[in-house]
Copies of this chain bind each other. A is one copy, B any other.
Amino acid sequence: MTSVKRACGNCNLRELCLPYGLSNDELERLDELVTSRRKIKQGEFLYRAGSGFEAIYAIRSGFFKTDVLLEDGREQVTGFQMGGELLGLDGISTEFHTCNSVALEASEVCVIPFSRLETLSREIQTLQHHFHKVMSREIVRDHGVMMLLGTMRAEERLAAFLLNLSQRFTARGYSHADFYLRMTREEIGSYLGLKLETVSRAFSRFQEAGHIAVQQKHIRILNIAGLKALMSHQRV
């Protein structure tokens, strides 16, 4: 846990994150609230299902997964999160977290005490509205995942997944076509409702088709249109 002076004002992710749209004055007031950061090593939990909720977290650097577990041990990865995205929104409803959040690489998050965020967002309309948009965006994203899981075939799911990652890397100034996956095939599979072998085979088929080049976690997208076309292939 480290403490910081200008958490948001100096952050290059601010346009993707909670401070979006705030004036300088408002940014300063948000900075008063975001005064501590947490570093999380690869494999460590940011929070666990069942643990008390008192803050949400903005990812300053790194990469996370969130998952839920059934009593019998089955895991469902519910999302992968990267810089500028918020973690912990699930905890608001019940006052405790309902999923696990695990760092997939060494990461750092800004701690945003939730009741103070509510207080501030009663005073700053822009902040309030943007926070509502972020929560709503999460609901819309979830609907997209349901569509993926409920109606798409294995290759469509994986193509959608790669295109989504690509788009989010682009938004953060990274290459849209050349990146390293932070998650294993098993984690991708869990997110997409597939087994790791199916994910691996789909990668291989994409490579054979010339859509991508895969070498373990290194992905290069060679034909983005090809991937997009895969997603509109109707079930036979």
A78 CB within 8 Å of chain B: yes
Query: Is B122 within 8 A of A128, CB to CB?
Result: yes
Residue of B nearest to A149 (CB): B149
Identify which of residues 79-121 in chain A touch chain B, using a CB-to-CB cut-off of 8 Å: 89-94, 98-99, 118, 121
Residue of B nearest to A233 (CB): B72
Contacts of A93 in B (CB 8 A): 133-134, 136-137, 139-140
Contacts of A92 in B (CB 8 A): 132-133, 135-136
A129 CB within 8 Å of chain B: yes
Identify which of residues 123-177 in chain A touch chain B, using a CB-to-CB cut-off of 8 Å: 123, 125, 128-129, 132-140, 142-147, 149-151
A71 CB within 8 Å of chain B: yes
Would you call the interface of chain A mostly helix, strand, loop, or mixed?
helix
Other-chain residue from B75, B128, B146 in contact with A76 (beta carbon distance below 8 A): B146
Min CB distance, A112 to chain B, in Å? 13
Query: Is B146 within 8 A of A232, CB to CB?
Result: no
Residue of B nearest to A131 (CB): B132
Residue of B nearest to A135 (CB): B135
Query: Is A68 within 8 A of B143, CB to CB?
Result: yes
* A positions within 8 Å CB-CB of B: 68, 70-72, 74-78, 89-94, 98-99, 118, 121-123, 125, 128-129, 132-140, 142-147, 149-151, 190-193, 232-235
A-B CB contact pairs (8 Å), 9 listed: A78-B146, A90-B136, A92-B133, A93-B134, A93-B139, A94-B136, A98-B140, A142-B145, A150-B192
Given A68-B147, A90-B143, A149-B193, 9 additional A-B pairs, CB 8 A: A74-B235, A78-B143, A89-B136, A90-B140, A92-B135, A93-B140, A121-B128, A142-B143, A149-B150
